[in-house]
Structure 1
Amino acid sequence: MDHITHRTGTAAGEPVAHDFAAGPGPGRASWGTAARATAHCLTGCAIGEILGMAVGTALAWGNAPTMALAVVLAFLFGYSFTLYAVRGAGLGPKAAVRVALAADTVSIALMELVDNGIIALVPGALDAHLTDALFWYALLGGFAVAFVVTTPVNKWMIGRGKGHAVAHTHH
């Protein structure tokens, strides 16, 4: 597959290269770009989700409040990674929030749906404690499946100038 480099200027006026696959038609972002975007998003989600699961489990909360906290923190950390990057590129706070919401909402939501679905489907995982291997296997397995499911969605969105493509124009 042929690649082109898309250049945009930062607030400081320095060019930034972005790897999008060349060719006519929609959905032509490279798999590498999609995988990097998904990994970026998954990192924030994983930190938030692990923290939420750890806090809820340590405080002996029920499954629903623990998962709710994990999902909220996954979104918070996922968005914060993008906010940090685009604020560093010179975007103001309001514009940075709009970019983060546009870049990450679908990706984080899909990851959380898949990951928490896997955890809910693994027998005993919802009742496992932080010290149980089942807790970590289900959580990490959910992340792996979420990555595989979300990467093609991110590829499709980036190829249409949506999702992480919005953030890429700023960092």
Structure 2
Amino acid sequence: MSVESLLEAVLTNPTVLVVWATLVVGSLAVLGWDLRTNNAAIAPLMKFVWGLTVLYSGPLGLAVYWYAGRSQISHDSLWRRGFRSVAHCYSGCGAGEVFGVVLAAGILELGNLGVAAVTFACAYVAGFALTVGPLMQEGVGFGEAVADAFYSETPSITVMEIGAISTDLWLAGGAHIGDVLFWTGLIFSLSIGLFVAYPVNVFLIQRGVKSGMQDPTELDGA
């Protein structure tokens, strides 16, 4: 059995889908409890970012938040800044990608090239917006936030979407919007995008192109 066939079998298995849905709901519940009880000082838009990250990637997203996003982390580091940075990109790009794939493949029924182009454009716009917002909440001016987001996020978004869109087309390129694989392939591809873009964000932070977002240990009440 090929890797593609194996993944398709897993992604359409009812038991796997029920277990994954349960894990996602549980992860969202844990995230909501922790943000409300222990990390209320986190900026509202950043809470939204973490919520989308966990919604897309379930326990994997929760693990990223626990490692890099809580004010209770023992110390900040390049690796943690990389995860906070990629989460900003991921939250917006994921929303844009879902919209783009549904529009291009599910509704307009475009070919693979059209799906890739529309999805990338939607993901770029959404990822850009979800980066500008948190920067402004940290006190950065609008013009500076837009310029910084354009300069710093383009490499991350590009790599993320190449990984995610190509994975989705590889697994579910022939699926219709009513097929289970259309949706599960999309969900799986989102997490692939998150992890392939992570080293890009680490590199950009290391080079001083990105800051990695605010250190949560510096929040009030940390």
Q: Mark yes or no: TM-score above 0.5.
A: yes
Mapped pair 1:128 → 2:186: no
Shift of 1:43: 0.9
Equivalent in the alignment of 1:95: 144
Unaligned 5+ runs, structure 2: 1-70, 216-222
1:32: which partner in 2? Answer: 80
Q: Secondary structure at the match of 1:161?
A: coil
Could you report, residue by residue, the CA deviation over 1:73-119 in whole angstroms, capped at 9, with x for unpaired residues? Answer: 10000000111222334444332211111231111100011111212
Q: Against the structure 1 CA distance between its residues 102 and 20, is the aligned structure 2 distance closer, same or farther, given a 3 Å change threshold?
A: farther
Aligned to 2:122: 73
Match of 2:158 in 1: 109
TM-superposed deviation, 1:140: 1.8
> Which residue in the other structure is 2:132 paired with?
83
Q: Residue 47 of structure 1 aligns with which residue?
A: 95
Provide the C-alpha distance between the structure 2 equivalents of 1:77 and 1:161, rounded to a whole number of angstroms: 24
User: What amino acid maps onto 1:77 in structure 2?
Assistant: A
Cα distance in 2 between the residues matched to 1:66 and 1:150: 21
> Helix, strand or coil: the match of 2:192?
helix
CA drift at 1:51: 0.3
Residues matched between the structures, number:
142
Residue in 2 aligned with 1:11? none
The letter of the residue matching 1:44 is G
Cα deviation, residue 167, structure 1:
5.8
Moved beyond 6 Å, runs of 4+: none
Matched AA of 2:178? T
Q: Which has the higher helix share?
A: 2
Judge which range, 32-41 or 45-54, deviates more: 32-41
Specify which structure has the higher proportion of strand: 1
Is 1:157 aligned to 2:212, yes or no?
no
Q: What SS class does the counterpart of residue 103 from structure 2 fall into? A: helix
8 Å contact kept, 2:160–2:194: yes
- Check the 8 A contact 1:100/1:167 in 2, yes or no: no
46-55 vs 126-135, which moves further:
126-135
| TM-score of the pair, normalised by structure 1 | 0.72
Query: Percent identical across equivalent pairs?
Result: 30
Give me the TM-score of the superposition, normalised by structure 2.
Answer: 0.57
2:12 is aligned to none
Unaligned runs of 5+ in 1: 1-16, 22-28
**CA RMSD, Structure 1 to Structure 2 (Å):** 2.4
Alpha carbons of structure 1 residues 168 and 106: separation in structure 2 relative to 1, 3 Å: farther
Aligned to 1:118: 167
